[in-house]
Structure 1
Amino acid sequence: MGRTKVSLRSRPISKGRRTLYLEFYPPVRVQASMKMQRYETLGMYIFAKPKTLTQKEYNAAVMAQAEAIRAMRVQAVINEEFGFLDKEKLNGDFLAYFYKEAQQRNNSWMSCYKHFHTFVDGHCTFRQLNVDLCTRFREYLLNAKQLDAPDIPLSVNSASNYYRKFRGMLAITLRDDYIREDINKHLERIEAKRNRIEFLTFEELYELSKTPCDIPVLKRASLFSCLTGLRISDVMKLQWPDIVPNIKGTGYNMRLRTEKTEAEAIWPLSPDAMELCGLREEGAVFKGLTRSMLNKPLKKWLTDAGITKHITFHGFRHTYAVLQLASGTDIYTVSKMLTHKHVTTTEIYLDLLDEMKQDTLGRIRLFKET
């Protein structure tokens, strides 16, 4: 059988008009439904018997547009690309597709999904995805409120993070052939603001380690993060089977798939880190640790240690990075230990290292004050 021919046809409709459609002979197969399809409706019409100059000009313009579409379909047939016939795919539920992808990732993706669900009022097909819609979602994020605190505006950095996730979703949608246009090429990013990153110095970390905490598991988990760079989500899900003897049999390694980057990594654990884990047993290493402990209990412990900086649990991860660099660990190793995808992400800690060096000014003196 020869190659499919594409012909422009018309048939009469109401009010003296004719609707235009394409005919494929022999028919082509629609991949989504696996059905053979012979016709494609263009959603265009012409006047059957144009009476005025305006109607004649209109007919000529529409026919030229229809002929251009026919030419594109001929090229698609030659390349055996029949996605344009996948009406069912185009009319598919983008929100359901988005939700499925978000479920397989992390909380940030799910929050992005929830914001987009609110923005489109719970309905969006693949066909409706275009530059205008995505641009308006960008504006929505810049003016949105937090999901769990409707009176508090979404921070610029959160908006930037969610829009980055959404653009990632668009790339996945294009990859899976649900849309034909790379919408991301036409979208403007939301630039994040660099927040001041707080970390503990060697002296502050030592003081904190010697200061009693009302919740022992909070203290152990916090100091463990300072020694490993683990995020709170990964500390909470760390299980004893994740801690295994190293190849040499002289210590232990931690094998874990991080929640944010979904990357599996191996961390060598120092004797101090192993001691913080406590006695080996079934289940979680830091059993009983909850996010509610990261507010008042954590702040009280830091205050008791004489630390006035605004240190969050994530600040312990920053502490790990800066102190490793200050100790001479090369940036590529630190980047790998933090499971950063790009070393440029780790480079922000070099500025903090310079700041730490500035703090040492005047500590070594040759002459007494007069």
Structure 2
Amino acid sequence: MDTCTKVFLRRKEISGGRLSLYLDFYPPIRNPHTNRLSRREGLGIYLYANPQSAREREFNASMEEKAEAIRCRRFEQLLNEQFGFLDKEKMRMDFLDYFRKKCYKKHQKWKVVYEHFSDFCRGKCLLGEVTEDFCKRFQKYLLEGGRRDDRKGTLAHNSIAGYWSTFRALLKEAYQEKLLRENINDYLTKIEWKDTKIEFLSLDEVKKLAATPCKHEVLKRAALFSCLTGLRISDIQQLSWDHIIKAEDGYVMRLRTEKTEEEANLPITEEALELCGERSEGLVFKELKRSMINYPLKAWIAEAGITRRITFHCFRHTYATLLSHNGVPIYTISKMLTHRSVKNTQKYAEVTDPDKRSAAKTISLK
């Protein structure tokens, strides 16, 4: 049997004639926030190192009593985890608040899923309520529920698949941090993605856009920049001048993509660099707002004579499709798009596959 973790209350001298109280764990425990092994936990409780009056001595005694109560509670929690006892206090933890805090360092989609989940549980969810049945009911809610906004209809299937995948990622992290006693994902089924039509612009259409005035100049520059680099709107909004550096053979963008959190060194052409404007400090596209990719974008595309439904993300599709059409290897395209797997990139090669075109022409009735 593993050695039971012991918890000691320690003191440490700090500035100002004070003592800082902290907990010392042996063996070390895993920090639920960093997932690293740790020996210490600061309590934020301080004592007078040399109490001079009855009031200061009374204060020290009161703080030591509170610290000892925390030490006992930590030991009880560790004991419950080690021997499988139900920790009633942990079960009362606010799971919705835990989800909300996770969103801070995640892709924007996490925030959208959080809002759906908050609607589902009506703004209140404790850790003890997160069970297999509860999660399956949330899956059903996504599959059958309507949108969060006022538009009619249900969520698109692939949106649901993505939201459900994100929620399962949350459950995995909660299990790894030992908040959940079992990996609920083992009992949940994946929602499979459906193949969808990839909408993209031809090179001539991109040139039309470049020649068409746009009400928001920064939107035009960002859109054309996406066509030349393949960056998502989220990464373009966070792109700073510190990310664009001079290399031996030209400029490159060194950044961590928001969606996949992949570190990438992406070459940038002089033409794309010109769209960034004059070099300065901070963000490259400072005035770019999310609201611009809705009606203003549609109006600009319509003025260019393009009647298909084109979203900002289609510019990324355009970049990948044009690369494939010009014979760039699929592995290279995958790296340029910062895809984790070449499988995600293959759809672009299929759109412009010359072998398919040749095969289609082999049969003729003329």
TM norm. shorter chain > 0.5: yes
**Superposed displacement of residue 269, structure 1:** 0.7
Q: Distance in 2 between matches of 1:327 and 1:194?
A: 24
**Superposed displacement of residue 36, structure 1:** 5.1
Aligned counterpart, 2:108: 107
Answer whether contact 1:167 1:184 (CA < 8 A) is retained: yes
Please, which moves more after superposition, 332-341 or 186-195? 186-195
Answer whether contact 1:31 1:83 (CA < 8 A) is retained: no
Does residue 132 of structure 2 align to residue 131 of structure 1? Answer: yes
Answer whether contact 1:198 1:318 (CA < 8 A) is retained: yes
- In structure 1, list runs of 5 or more residues that go unmatched: 5-29, 41-79, 363-370
Aligned counterpart, 2:45: none
**Superposed displacement of residue 222, structure 1:** 1.0
CA-to-partner distance for each residue in 1:61-89, whole Å, 9 max, x for gaps? xxxxxxxxxxxxxxxxxxx9324253322
Where 1:236 maps in the other structure, the secondary structure is: helix
CA-to-partner distance for each residue in 1:43-77, whole Å, 9 max, x for gaps? xxxxxxxxxxxxxxxxxxxxxxxxxxxxxxxxxxx
Q: Call closer, same or farther: CA 1:31–1:111 in 2, change over 3 Å.
A: farther
1:186-335 equivalence runs, <5 A? 186-246=187-247, 248=248, 250-335=249-334
Aligned counterpart, 2:15: none
**Superposed displacement of residue 156, structure 1:** 2.0
**Superposed displacement of residue 151, structure 1:** 4.5
Q: Call closer, same or farther: CA 1:300–1:116 in 2, change over 3 Å.
A: closer
Answer whether contact 1:146 1:152 (CA < 8 A) is retained: yes
TM-score (norm 1): 0.71
- In structure 2, list runs of 5 or more residues that go unmatched: 5-69, 362-366
Q: Call closer, same or farther: CA 1:356–1:107 in 2, change over 3 Å.
A: farther
Aligned counterpart, 1:7: none
Q: Call closer, same or farther: CA 1:282–1:35 in 2, change over 3 Å.
A: closer
Where 1:245 maps in the other structure, the secondary structure is: strand
Q: Distance in 2 between matches of 1:143 and 1:237?
A: 34
Q: Distance in 1 between matches of 2:145 and 2:317?
A: 29
Q: Call closer, same or farther: CA 1:32–1:270 in 2, change over 3 Å.
A: farther
Q: Distance in 1 between matches of 2:263 and 2:321?
A: 23
Where 1:84 maps in the other structure, the secondary structure is: coil
Give the number of aligned pairs: 294
Q: Call closer, same or farther: CA 1:295–1:355 in 2, change over 3 Å.
A: farther
Does residue 122 of structure 2 align to residue 121 of structure 1? Answer: yes
Where 2:327 maps in the other structure, the secondary structure is: coil
Q: Call closer, same or farther: CA 1:228–1:32 in 2, change over 3 Å.
A: farther
CA-to-partner distance for each residue in 1:300-328, whole Å, 9 max, x for gaps? 33233332322111100001111112222
Q: Distance in 1 between matches of 2:128 and 2:212?
A: 59
Percent identity, aligned pairs only, is 48
Aligned counterpart, 1:34: 74
Two-structure CA RMSD over aligned residues (Å): 3.0
Q: Distance in 2 between matches of 1:325 and 1:139?
A: 39
Q: Call closer, same or farther: CA 1:32–1:120 in 2, change over 3 Å.
A: farther
Please, which moves more after superposition, 202-211 or 172-181? 202-211
Q: Call closer, same or farther: CA 1:119–1:214 in 2, change over 3 Å.
A: closer
Answer whether contact 1:229 1:318 (CA < 8 A) is retained: yes
Bigger radius of gyration among the two: 1
Aligned counterpart, 1:155: 156
Matched to 2:338, the amino acid is T
Q: Distance in 2 between matches of 1:240 and 1:147?
A: 36
Matched to 1:100, the amino acid is K
Where 1:339 maps in the other structure, the secondary structure is: coil
Matched to 2:276, the amino acid is C
Q: Call closer, same or farther: CA 1:306–1:176 in 2, change over 3 Å.
A: same
Q: Distance in 1 between matches of 2:72 and 2:337?
A: 42
Q: Call closer, same or farther: CA 1:88–1:199 in 2, change over 3 Å.
A: same
